[in-house]
Amino acid sequence: MADQITLEVARYRPGLDTEPVMQSYQVPLREHWAILDGLTYIKDHLDGTLSFRWSCRMGICGSCGMTVNGDPQLTCATFLTDYAPGPVRVEPLRNFPVVRDLVVDIGDFMEKLPTVKPWMIRDVDSPVEEGEYLQTPEELDEYKQFSMCINCMLCYSACPVYALDPSFVGPAAIALAQRYNLDSRDEGAADRDDVLTSPEGIWACTFVGECSAACPKDVDPAAAIQRYKLTAATQAVKNFLLPRGAR
Amino acid sequence: MSLYHRPIPIFWWLERRSYLVFVLRELSSVFIAWFVVYLLLLINAVSGGSAEYERFLDRSGHWWVVAINVIALLFVLLHSVTWFGLAPKAIVVRMRGRRVPPRLVAVAHYAAWLVLSAVVAWVILR
């Protein structure tokens, strides 16, 4: 195995560059080094001006999503040896405006996320003295998969619908809405329905499925969206056919 | 702050196989519409009597109509298969407290497709 590998890194310096330019760096090819370790090596030893986001380095925080050889990846969980002999092309996440180098502006996602109210909603909160809201393992299984989302936004980067129509609420936000809709302790499904069933919500999704392929946590946002389509369609038929009390 | 917005290439849908399948599936709706129109024309011909029906059959035998229908059939198959691929994602069935495996949901759809096709074939060919 060669002891070096080339990282071709997208550089975008606002004010200097009109568009990103690729810059090559030689980094050590070590067995346990992830792409993020290669970028950190560049930052520490070769070029301190390189900008990128990272935090936990263990696939939890969702900060280090980038485009690696064309695919959206968490760079802390993507290993250099898998790309040997290289070169490895590292670019910012697609479908987001680039702030600098590998750093993207996530403001759009941060604005959309609260619109689906991804938190526990209760009609009436039980007094604390009554203890926890109990839940069976089966009830936990209903939503657990969707609760694994780490907001890394790889799904937005993979989604061609979001690329073409940035008003789309998007895979992660809808999956997180479903995470609460399917939680036996939550009573807020009706509060989320308007946003989810709007033209920018579930119906904008055309089931490309790349969001689920890109998800590093197997959340399967495509399934969350298709599932809510069925829920919404069933509810619409009930609203049309049944009297108000029987819906 | 000047942000860089990556332009979407014209041929973005050729970047990945899944993107290409997605675009072809969207395109398949045109052929679904064509089959609906073709069926309406057939019904109209049948209601117009045997001479009208014969003329419809003659028109349908033209090479270009056959070619369109073969292409439409391929797109309708793509449409159906991708739809059945979606079904197990959307439908969560529970039996005796356990979730029915998604693969079984897909198999049930294909089985229903087969049965309905057999019934239609029996009605037409008997």
Structural domains in chain B? 1-75 (1.20.1300.10), 91-126 (no CATH)
| A229 with B90: Cβ contact below 8 A | yes
Question: Which residues are bridge partners to A27 per DSSP?
Answer: A5
Q: What is the pLDDT of residues B48-58, one digit of tens each?
A: 889 989 999 99
Q: What is the pLDDT of residues A61-120, one digit of tens each?
A: 999 999 999 999 999 999 999 998 989 999 999 999 999 999 999 999 999 999 999 999
Which residues from B are below 8 Å from A14, CB to CB?
1-4
- Tell me whether B16 touches chain A (CB under 8 Å): yes
A40 CA to chain B: closest CA distance, Å? Answer: 23
- Give whole-number Cα distances, A66 to A54, A155, B7, B63, in Å: 10, 11, 17, 51
- Tell me whether A83 touches chain B (CB under 8 Å): no
- Give whole-number Cα distances, A170 to A55, A151, A181, A185, B4, in Å: 24, 11, 17, 25, 21
**pLDDT at B1 > cutoff 70:** no
Q: Are A242 and A125 in the same domain?
A: yes
Residue A151, number of CB atoms within 10 A of its CB? 17
Q: How far apart are the first and last CA of chain B?
A: 73
Q: What is the structure's pLDDT at A182? A: 94
Q: Are A79 and A121 in the same domain?
A: no
Cβ distance B21 to A76 under 8 Å? no
A213 CA to chain B: closest CA distance, Å? Answer: 10
Cβ distance A53 to A102 under 8 Å? yes
B58 CA to chain A: closest CA distance, Å? Answer: 39
Could you say which of A49, A73, A104 is where a domain stops?
A104
Could you say which of A85, A104, A123 is where a domain stops?
A104
| A230 with B91: Cβ contact below 8 A | yes
- Tell me whether B37 touches chain A (CB under 8 Å): no
Q: Three-state SS for B99?
A: strand
What CATH number did the domain enclosing A115 receive?
A: 1.10.1060.10
| B6 with A98: Cβ contact below 8 A | yes
Domain extent, residue A14, equals: 4-104
Q: Which residues contact A164 (CB under 8 A, 6 or more apart)?
A: B8
Could you say which of A45, A80, A104 is where a domain stops?
A104
Q: What is the structure's pLDDT at A1? A: 63
Q: Are A123 and A230 in the same domain?
A: yes
Q: Is the peptide bond before A92 cis (omega within 30 degrees of 0)?
A: no
Residue of A nearest to B18 (CA): A208
A128 CA to chain B: closest CA distance, Å? Answer: 31
Q: What is the pTM of this model?
A: 0.89
- Tell me whether A22 touches chain B (CB under 8 Å): no
For chain A, which ranges sit under pLDDT 70?
1, 246-247
Q: Are A50 and A130 in the same domain?
A: no
Q: Are A100 and A111 in the same domain?
A: no
Q: Are A190 and A229 in the same domain?
A: yes
Which ranges of B1-126 does DSSP label H, i.e. alpha helix?
17-47, 50-60, 63-90, 102-125
Q: Are A126 and A21 in the same domain?
A: no
Helix-helix angle A221-241:A189-196, to 10 degrees = 100
Q: Are A72 and A131 in the same domain?
A: no
Round to whole Å and give the CA distance between A71 and A155.
11
Closest by alpha carbon to A220, among A186, A77, A228? A228
Q: What is the pLDDT of residues B61-118, one digit of tens each?
A: 999 999 999 999 999 999 999 889 888 888 888 888 788 888 999 999 999 999 999 9
Q: What is the structure's pLDDT at B89? A: 86
Q: What is the structure's pLDDT at A163? A: 94
Name the residue facing B4 among A20, A206, A213 (closest C-beta). A20
Number of domains in chain A: 2
| B4 with A12: Cβ contact below 8 A | yes
| Alpha-carbon dihedral sign for residues A21, A24, A28, A32 | positive
Q: Are A61 and A146 in the same domain?
A: no
Q: Are A119 and A199 in the same domain?
A: yes
Which residues from B are below 8 Å from A206, CB to CB?
22, 25-26
Q: Are A238 and A136 in the same domain?
A: yes
Q: What is the structure's pLDDT at A125? A: 87
Q: What are the structure tokens assigned to A144, written together?
A: 């657990």
Q: Are A120 and A152 in the same domain?
A: yes
What CATH number did the domain enclosing A89 receive?
A: 3.10.20.30
B109 CA to chain A: closest CA distance, Å? Answer: 16
Which residues from A are below 8 Å from B90, CB to CB?
223, 226-227, 229-230
